[in-house]
Structure formats: C-alpha cells, structure tokens
Amino acid sequence: FKEGTSNRFYAILDPLTDTLASYPMTESDLKKVSSGSEFNLWNEYPDKKGWYVQFSDFGTTDEKVVSQAVLLLDSLTVVTFDPEASADECNPGSGYAREYSFHFRTGGGSGRVIGTGIPQAPRYSFDQSGSGLVVRQTFDSLWVEKTTGYGSLKRILQWKER
C-alpha cells in the first residue's frame, strides 16, 4: 500500500476484433463514473471505450482493490481495503473493508462498509434450481446470505422439432 495514491478500478470494453488499433488507452478514453455519472454504451462508444472509478472520490484516501472482481449476471463486485491512517502495519484489522457493486456495462452502482480488515472476494453457490447463496468474509467476520438466483433466467438452449 503506497500512501497518498489515488487508486482506481477500470472496466474496458473489448471490441472483439483482431486489431489492436485502439491501444494503448489512456484515462481520457474512458468515462469517470465515480462522480455519479454512468457510461452509456450506445451513446458514448466508440469515443469512450469503458469506464473507471477513482476511489478518492468516495472520500477515502488510501483505498485499494484487494481481490479479483466477480461478475454475476449484470453485477460486477469489487472488494477494497482502506487502512486507518494511524494503523499498526502488523495488524491486518486496522482499516475498513468495503464492497462495491457496479452494473458491468454502465458503471452505475454503490458501495458499503462490510467490516474491518482485508476482505475476500464474495463467493457464490447455486443449487440446480438456481437458488443461491453468497458468502462474504473479512478479517473479523463471515456471513452467508441468500442472493438473487439465476433460476428465472434459465431457458431451453437447444431443441429439436419433428
């Protein structure tokens, strides 16, 4: 953790082409959505090629993404850790764990404190009917909650007519 850095999370639209003509990118190629705006794929592409969040816009100073992002349905979840300024470097519980959920296409979303210490990425478990659970864990807590299942999205993928 480097103090005083303004950390970010980037979501870049893959054009699904064989060419790399649009690379390299800079932040000016992306839309900043941490100020409450959203990325509108239909109106802003190809001028903007994705979106990004700057965590200092949420009032934190040293907040870092500490795990891989998890995409489930249309929700992109990111967990972060924001160490306390006077934290003991040997105490992993000295700071706040946050979870942010963003719409993967627009970047719209929200965040919340989920505990103290360094969090793990949420883990999901679904049964055959599509009902699900999400497991969240931080340094000092573990909890399991029901989550939106994918059961309503199940459809026949293949059929054969006679």
Distance CA 90, CA 27 (A): 35
Q: How far is CA 34 from CA 40, 41, 66, 81, 132, in A?
A: 14, 16, 18, 17, 29
pLDDT tens digit at each of 162 positions of the chain = 556 567 899 998 877 766 655 677 888 988 889 877 777 777 777 788 889 998 888 887 788 899 999 998 888 999 999 888 765 666 656 888 999 999 888 888 888 899 888 899 999 988 877 788 999 998 888 989 998 766 555 555 666 777
Kindly report the length of the chain: 162
* pLDDT value of position 140: 81
For residue 39, the model assigns a pLDDT of 79
Q: pTM here?
A: 0.79
The H or E element that residue 42 is part of is helix 41-44
The 10 Å Cβ neighbour count of residue 52 is: 18
